[in-house]
Amino acid sequence: MELFKVCVAFDDTGDIHFSDAFEQENLIWLALSWECDATGVRKRPERIVGLPKDHLKATTDSLHYEYLLPRSLPATLKTAKSAAEVPDGYCVQFKPDLTFSSLH
């Protein structure tokens, strides 16, 4: 799977977040945080948030990201510890069994 960047805002702050993302199962998955292995060669997402691809807007005028998410996301997607804390309508996977190269 190829990683790409998505520009995301969260509703708790005006901060902009550049999230790694990948496409799988007809969804775009935002990898909001990572765990790196001891060698620093591989990384695994700590949590991923799934969004329909049509929620993203492609951009060609940025050097930092390939897509923009035009609406902000609930801040609890960054902090939820379990599925019970995830807002309705959102899909979050905690510690999915996925590994990527850290070179991105």
Q: What is the pLDDT along the chain (104 residues), one digit of tens a residue?
A: 889 999 999 987 777 889 999 999 889 999 988 998 888 788 999 999 999 999 999 988 878 899 999 999 998 898 898 989 999 989 999 999 999 886 54
What is the pTM assigned to this prediction? 0.86
**pLDDT score for 103:** 54
**pLDDT score for 25:** 84
Could you tell me which of 101, 80, 104 has the C-alpha nearest to residue 90?
Answer: 80
**In 22-75, which residue ranges form alpha helices assigned H by DSSP?**
none
**pLDDT score for 46:** 92
- Tokens read off for 64: 């930092």
Residues, the chain:
104
Beta-carbon count within 10 A of 69 CB: 20
Could you tell me which of 92, 2, 5 has the C-alpha nearest to residue 49?
Answer: 92
Single-letter amino acid code for the residue at 61: D
**pLDDT score for 102:** 67
Sign, CA dihedral 9-79-63-15, equals positive
Cα 78 to Cα 71: distance, rounded to the nearest angstrom: 16
